[in-house]
Amino acid sequence: MTSHAHNAGALTTSPTPKIWFITGASRGFGRIWTEAALQRGDKVAATARPLASLTDLTEKYGANVLSLALDVTNPEQVKTAVVQAHTHFGRLDIVLNNAGYFLVGTIEEASLDDLRALYETNVYGAVSVIQAALPLLRAQGSGHLLGTSSGLGHVTSPVLGYYASSKWAFEAIHESLAAEVASFGIKVTIIEPGAYATEFGSPESLRFATGLAAYAEFKNHFFAGLSRLERGNPAATPAALFAVVDAEQPPLRLFLGSHNLPAVRAAYAERLATWEAWETVANAAQGVVN
């Protein structure tokens, strides 16, 4: 890891300017990370559904930014955008899958159409970007695939179960991917933010399932608890992201924030305790092959 990676303070200049492809660059983490990369001297192909949301980036950063309209649920548009970015800059060093949204609703409330739409963006959209980028990265013999997951990729929650499930799928895909592409010189890191004061809670980033009266009181309690949750400052995150992309051996997973690790420790301790309590039953189910 480069020396500045240990410094959580002011951002430093990129040791070697890198070229990024970022989805969901119009708001939230995507916007913050896009601007931070440009500010440290990197170049970015910034993508978002509404191209107009990226206009100010072009005005401010000129030739260092390529703004592209991209709906990640359109595989052909994804392929075109990735190739266009690669052709424009000559290479891609970092491909950051950041586009995504929350589906809010209990398991009973959300419709199958709600769930399909969620997976189209959060899972299939990310896979489209990965599959479009891999031939180019393989030909380069280098590249770093980053994916924005969540602490909910490990510990689920009521009312956010379907969103969490999309991140559990996202995690599994990236873990397999990392093993599959390592021999090509391609690195993979899953970025797992906790709760942050970003625009991810805005109407553009939230979809609500049609509510059922039976869950109204439960959800009121849930949202009351959510409102009391301590949120991190998203402006503090770029230094951690840069520490990862500048590292010789980046981690497969990186939590952002201080709340995820305690939550995951507790969740896995509980899971292990349950499995161990039922170990005798489980072992008996192994049977004996004659």
Task: Please give the full DSSP string across 118-158, using - where no structure is assigned.
Answer: HHIIIIIIHHHHHHHHHHHHHHHT-EEEEEE--GGGTS--T
Cα–Cα distance for residue pair 34/32, rounded to 1 Å: 6
Strand partners, 46: 22, 67
Per-residue pLDDT, averaged over 35-46, amounts to 97
What pLDDT sits at residue 5?
39
What pLDDT sits at residue 196?
84
Cα–Cα distance for residue pair 203/217, rounded to 1 Å: 22
Strand partners, 147: 97, 190
What pLDDT sits at residue 207?
87
- Run of H or E including 267: helix 260-277
Mean pLDDT of the chain: 92
Domain boundaries, the chain: 11-279
Per-residue pLDDT tens over the stretch 93-132: 999 999 999 999 999 999 999 999 999 999 999 999 999 9
Tell me the Cα Rg of the chain: 20
Residue among 241, 262, 258, 264 nearest 98 (CA): 241
What pLDDT sits at residue 31?
95
**Band (290; pLDDT cuts 50, 70, 90):** confident
Angle at 20 between CA 15 and CA 21, to 5 degrees: 170
Q: Which amino acid is at 225?
A: G
Q: Which CATH class is domain 11-279?
A: alpha beta
- Does residue 52 register a pLDDT over 70? yes
**Band (8; pLDDT cuts 50, 70, 90):** very low
**Band (83; pLDDT cuts 50, 70, 90):** very high
Side-chain half-sphere CA neighbours of 40 within 13 A: 25
Side-chain half-sphere CA neighbours of 87 within 13 A: 6
What pLDDT sits at residue 14?
61
Active-site positions read: 149, 163, 167
What pLDDT sits at residue 113?
97
- Does residue 50 register a pLDDT over 80? yes
Per-residue pLDDT tens over the stretch 233-288: 999 999 999 999 999 999 999 999 999 999 999 999 999 999 999 999 999 999 99
- Does residue 208 register a pLDDT over 80? yes
